[in-house]
Each structure stands twice: as C-alpha cells, then as structure tokens.
Amino acid sequence: MEAVHGTYVASGEGALLLREPPGSGKLDLALQLIEHGARLVADDRMLLRGDRGKLHAFAPAALAGKVGVRGIGVLTVPFVHTARLIMVAGTAVPRLPEPATCTYEGVVLGVLALAPLEASTPAKLRLALARAPA
C-alpha cells in the first residue's frame, strides 16, 4: 500500500488523481467535477493499493468525505469509499503532449497535463475519463 498526496475523484467507471502543488487549483477543479456528478474519493491524502493489475484508492478514515476549502474551512461532500484509479493529471501543459505515464504499486497509469483553473478543464477531464481504457 502506498500513501500519496493529491485530490482523487471518481466519475463513471474510473477515477482521476489530481496531482498539483498546494494552492494550484486542484480542489477547485475537483469541486467543479463534483458539481457535474463526480464523487470525492479522497482529498489531500489517499492510500493506493494494487490488485491484479488494477489500482484502487481510498481515503484514510479520518479524511473520508472531507475537503479543506480555502476561505471556508473543512466541508463534508458526497464521497465513495474506494474507486479504481485510471488517470493522473498534473499542471505542465504542452500544446501537443507526448503520451506520458506514471507507475504506482506496479500499475502503469496515463498522465494528462491540464491547467486546473481553465474553464474547459472539467469538460476535458470528463472526455478523457470516458475514453480511458477500462
């Protein structure tokens, strides 16, 4: 089992890990995705577990369903206990990116580079999740 920092949301058949530095907009993006039907899996810290070539993530019990929103405080939002991670997003945004991957717990995942505060980013992520391999 591996502990990682980031924000993790589930949508449809898969989920997305947002890896960004603090204050970069990952929670803003996660909240926009949640407004469009995604569910929180974990914010700030999550545990990853590889199982037969698939990667599952879940929040430590004390953080389940909790998000720390700047200017407001800690809120409770709808969440799922675990979801299969299929994609990771970061902030370095080339115009025409080469395919990129990362590995957690021996499972290779695709990496997207998207700007979290662009208005179109939630739509881009929904499209990417829908096209990701199952």
pLDDT in tens, 9-41: 887 767 888 877 777 778 888 888 888 888 888
Q: Containing domain of residue 69, as a range?
A: 2-131
pLDDT in tens, 78-122: 888 877 766 666 666 667 777 778 888 888 888 877 777 788 888
Domain count for the chain: 1
Strand partners, 39: 10
SS (H, E, C) 54-103: EEEEECCHHHCCEEEECCCEEEECCECCEEEEEEEEECCCCCCCCCEEEE
Residue 74 has what pLDDT?
92
Residue 91 has what pLDDT?
63
Rounded-to-integer distance, Cα 27 and Cα 112, Å: 17
- What does pTM read for this prediction? 0.77
Phi, psi angles (nearest 5°) of residue 125: -70, -40
Are 38 and 9 spatial neighbours (Cβ–Cβ below 8 Å)? yes
Tokens of 120: 């179109």
3-class state of residue 116 by DSSP: coil
Residue 32 has what pLDDT?
86
46 band by pLDDT with thresholds 50, 70 and 90: confident
Residue 110 has what pLDDT?
81
Q: CB atoms < 10 A from the CB of 64, how many?
A: 16
* CA dihedral over 65, 70, 32, 50, signed as positive or negative: negative
Are 9 and 40 spatial neighbours (Cβ–Cβ below 8 Å)? yes
Residue 51 has pLDDT above 80, yes or no: yes
What CATH number is associated with residue 6? 3.40.50.300
3-class state of residue 113 by DSSP: strand
Residue 85 has what pLDDT?
66
